[in-house]
């Protein structure tokens, strides 16, 4: 580079080449080269060229921006139908979000926030307020509740919760007296004797009017062979309704022994009996106000679990039987092997004894 070279003699190609070469140098080395190797005229020429290049780039930028804006506008026009259905349709993404938020803020909202109900925590009741047949618990707020209940055959009788333990004890004594009078002549006379016995027991103890124990009744039917346990109907306040449900369930269930129907010889008979009991139970629950679909679904789940459990138990029994037979066979084989070994040893001893006798006879 000659120091006498002036800027008019340097064309754009040479300046661009100088610029590209200078960009490859480190900043310190670049400043040193420009200050020592370039003349003042050359430095001014390079500066004017850089300014002209930047001006050209800035002049071309609006065109590219406008082109990008045109593409965005065309895209929004193509998707206008999709955006028109939402607040802020036709806007950019941020604009649509702002429009949706503004529309939601202007829309009147109904207050849906509900306070959670207070449910006191239950703890064990004091020992002096605990008795057989009475369920007692104390809430975290300090109140103690007592519920008397009794079972008359497969009929469950439960009184309302009271805070006075003595009242709960009186109700329990009345229920016990009615139970003894109801089952005095057997299970068949329960439907006839229990209503009168219960009313008489309550009247004798003055549990009427304001002291009404608010009795509720439910029926438990044994169904272990179908659902693995008992089926209980919803609690009702009418004793006659509960007794009628008890009769219907007993007729559909048939005789039972420890929750099983041992008189059913085949699987088809068992399933037919379950179908009758299932229908009657769903009908009784529906009359008590329960949802028939939910009850049927619950029974179906319980029945499927019981069937799966029965298959597992059957497979376990067969596996145990097979293992027992295998062990018995192995024991028999071992016994026969020991017997054969003893016989072989006996034969060997006999042969040795015969050989010894023969030797003795020859020697003598």
* Strands lying side by side in the sheet with 134-139: 122-124, 134-139, 144-152, 155-158, 216-223, 229-232
Average pLDDT value for residue range 302-310: 88
Quick check: 239 and 175 in contact, CB under 8 A?
Answer: no
pLDDT for the residue 195:
87
Q: How confident is the model at residue 282 (pLDDT cuts 50, 70, 90)?
A: very high
Helices (H), 214-364: 224-227, 239-253, 267-287, 292-363
* pLDDT > 90? residue 325: yes
Decide which of 354 and 60 is more confident: 354
pLDDT per residue over 147-184, tens digit each? 999 988 889 999 998 888 888 888 999 898 888 887 76
The C-alpha atoms of residue 111 and residue 178 are separated, in whole angstroms, by 52
Average pLDDT value for residue range 5-20: 66
pLDDT for the residue 253:
84
* Tokens of residue 255, six digits: 């005789």
* Tokens of residue 285, six digits: 């629950």
pLDDT for the residue 334:
92
The C-alpha atoms of residue 357 and residue 334 are separated, in whole angstroms, by 35
pLDDT for the residue 136:
83
pLDDT per residue over 212-225, tens digit each? 888 999 999 888 88
Cα–Cα distances (Å) from 234 to 146, 212, 216, 218, in that order, read 21, 21, 10, 6
pLDDT for the residue 93:
56
Decide which of 64 and 213 is more confident: 213
pLDDT for the residue 64:
45
* Residue pointed to by tokens 């009850």: 295
Note the pTM of the prediction, 2 decimals: 0.55
pLDDT per residue over 340-357, tens digit each? 999 999 999 999 888 888
pLDDT per residue over 257-271, tens digit each? 555 655 565 778 888
* Tokens of residue 293, six digits: 């679909």
Can you list the pairs that 341-348 forms with residues at least 24 positions away whose Cβ atoms lie under 8 Å?
Answer: none
Closest by Cα among 66, 91, 94 to 80: 91
Average pLDDT value for residue range 8-20: 71
**Mean pLDDT over each residue of the chain, to the nearest integer:** 77
Can you list the pairs that 181-187 forms with residues at least 24 positions away whose Cβ atoms lie under 8 Å?
Answer: 182/152, 183/152, 183/153, 187/153
Q: How crowded is residue 246: how many other Cβ atoms within 10 Å of its Cβ?
A: 23
Residues with Cβ within 8 Å of 97's Cβ and at least 6 positions away in sequence, in order, are 88
What 8-state DSSP symbol labels residue 162?
A: B
**What is the share, in percent, of the chain residues with pLDDT greater than 90?**
21
Quick check: 299 and 286 in contact, CB under 8 A?
Answer: no
* pLDDT > 70? residue 84: no
The C-alpha atoms of residue 231 and residue 219 are separated, in whole angstroms, by 8
The C-alpha atoms of residue 202 and residue 236 are separated, in whole angstroms, by 18
Name the 3-class secondary structure at 154: coil
Decide which of 63 and 211 is more confident: 211
Helices (H), 188-238: 190-204, 224-227
Decide which of 362 and 158 is more confident: 158
Decide which of 81 and 173 is more confident: 173
């Amino acid at each position: 580079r000659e120091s006498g070279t002036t800027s008019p003699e340097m064309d754009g190609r040479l300046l661009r080449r100088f610029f590209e070469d200078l960009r490859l140098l480190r900043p310190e080395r670049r400043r040193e080269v420009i200050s020592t190797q370039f003349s003042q005229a050359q430095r001014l020429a390079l500066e004017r060229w850089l300014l002209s290049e930047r001006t050209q780039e800035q002049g071309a930028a609006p065109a590219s921006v406008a082109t990008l804006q045109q593409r965005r506008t065309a895209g929004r026009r193509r998707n206008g139908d999709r955006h028109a259905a939402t607040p802020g349709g036709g806007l950019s993404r941020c604009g649509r979000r702002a429009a949706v938020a503004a529309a939601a803020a202007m829309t009147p909202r109904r207050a849906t926030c509900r306070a959670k109900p207070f449910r006191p925590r239950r703890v064990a009741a004091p020992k002096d307020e605990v008795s057989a047949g009475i369920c007692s618990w104390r809430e975290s707020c300090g109140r103690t509740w007592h519920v008397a209940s009794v079972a008359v055959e497969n009929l469950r009788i439960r009184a309302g919760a009271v805070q006075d333990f003595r009242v709960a004890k009186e109700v329990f004594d009345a229920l016990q007296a009615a139970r003894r009078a109801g089952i005095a002549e057997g299970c068949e006379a329960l439907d006839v004797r229990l209503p009168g016995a219960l009313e008489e027991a309550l009247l004798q103890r003055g549990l009427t009017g304001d002291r009404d124990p608010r009795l509720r009744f439910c029926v438990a039917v044994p169904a272990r062979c179908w659902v693995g346990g008992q089926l209980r109907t919803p609690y009702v306040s009418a004793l006659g309704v509960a007794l009628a449900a008890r009769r219907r369930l007993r007729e559909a269930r048939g005789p039972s022994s420890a929750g099983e129907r041992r008189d059913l010889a085949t699987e088809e008979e068992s399933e037919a009996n379950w179908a009758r009991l299932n229908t009657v139970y769903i009908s009784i629950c529906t009359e008590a106000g329960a949802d028939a679909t939910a009850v049927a679904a619950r029974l179906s789940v319980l029945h499927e679990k019981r069937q799966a459990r029965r298959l597992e138990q059957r497979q376990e029994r067969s596996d145990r039987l097979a293992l027992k037979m295998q062990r018995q066979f192995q024991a028999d084989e071992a016994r026969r092997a020991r017997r054969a070994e003893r016989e072989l040893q006996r034969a060997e001893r006999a042969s040795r004894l015969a050989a010894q006798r023969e030797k003795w006879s020859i020697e003598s």
